Amino acid sequence: MNPQVSSDSQMNAENALKREMRSGRFSHALLLSGQRGIGKRTLARFLAKGLLCQSEDEALRPCGICRSCKRYENNTHSNLLKPNLKPSDKSIGIDPIRSIVEELSRHGLETGARVILIENADKMTPQAQNCLLKTLEEASNNTHFILTADSERSILPTILSRCRIERMQPWDDERMTNELRKVGMDRNRIDELLKLSDGSIGRALSIHEDASFWTARENVIKAFFTISKPSDIPQRISLLKDKKEDSSLYLDILEQTVTGYLHEKATQNTMHLSPSPLWDKAPVSGLRKISEAIQQARRLRAANVGWQSVAEQLMQIISEEIVKWQQ
């Protein structure tokens, strides 16, 4: 489902960073970029902790037991500088960055590595980025900037040009599967999550833990994928009563499932987890028609047409198509 860079080359890039961190030849400024949920923050924190670690055995860094690792874990490490943000902050303004710059100049003579960790660096305002720029240029050898960003677009070229940029890729199915197995998931759940998460391990894990999502998914299957004829509609509609608030999620799940069938048709596989045997015979033309009907349903919802009536129109189209498939 994610024909991106193979696990191997992605893992190689990550392992190279870890080796450099342990060897003492780590970049002065590193930017980890790539879509949300692919492990940028986890890697950035691992590298930051490892750079500060004082274990004699470099191969063990971060060791998790030295004084420095403990201080890192307790968030009390004075050589780890992060912007001080409030949960409500939508951007990283100049003040928290200025504090870091001042802190760096105050502790200029302190020994040991210092790490400036700026997660979501693409949220920095241009003023904040300009404030950071000078420090980025002049910082000493033992100072490391680690930045993460979902997108490089909001980062000034002057910052980008001073960073080593590591573009992290969405995870491929094999790596996702291995990681999700570690959490103890069964094959069916893993297959579901691969379809839903676009190579984002973070998204896969958060969907997995979201009970309301699975309830909604079950309802969508019952309501839309068990219709075999138009006269089924009134009973199916009754399942969607009081679900107005979730209508957008319901349409998302419906669309993802239809797209899953289309994908399987295109690759000539049978759907590993077909929610309904009725749909296994669906021709591409019928699936496309239903996809278009889902887009139309979104437009109607955006125009405040009632959810029940939008869902009913959708079911009408689905039932007409299903009758054709069964002939």
Residues forming contacts to Zn ion in the complex (CB under 5 A) are: 53, 55, 62-63, 66, 69
Residue 70: CB minimum distance to Zn ion, A: 8
Strands 80-81 and 29-33: unpaired
Q: What are phi and psi of 79, to 5 degrees?
A: -95, 5
Short-list 116, 79, 137, CA closest to 124: 116
Looking at this protein, which amino acid is placed at residue 200? S
Q: Tell me which H or E stretch contains 136.
A: helix 126-138
DSSP 109-123: T--S-EEEEETTGGG
Which CB, 88 or 111, lies closer to Zn ion? Answer: 111
Nearest 5°: CA angle at 196, between 260 and 223? 65
Which CB, 58 or 179, lies closer to Zn ion? Answer: 58
Which CB, 66 or 278, lies closer to Zn ion? Answer: 66
Residue 304: CB minimum distance to Zn ion, A: 57
Which CB, 36 or 67, lies closer to Zn ion? Answer: 67
Residue 22: CB minimum distance to Zn ion, A: 11
Which CB, 57 or 242, lies closer to Zn ion? Answer: 57
Which CB, 53 or 168, lies closer to Zn ion? Answer: 53
Residue 73: CB minimum distance to Zn ion, A: 10
Short-list 305, 310, 282, CA closest to 294: 310
Which CB, 39 or 62, lies closer to Zn ion? Answer: 62
Short-list 186, 201, 194, CA closest to 271: 194
Residue 19: CB minimum distance to Zn ion, A: 17
Q: Tell me which H or E stretch contains 284.
A: helix 284-302
Looking at this protein, which amino acid is placed at residue 192? E
Alpha-carbon 114 to chain mean position: 29
Short-list 24, 28, 46, 44, CA closest to 143: 28
Q: What are phi and psi of 30, to 5 degrees?
A: -125, 135
Residue 129: CB minimum distance to Zn ion, A: 32
Residue 26: CB minimum distance to Zn ion, A: 15
Strands 80-81 and 114-118: parallel
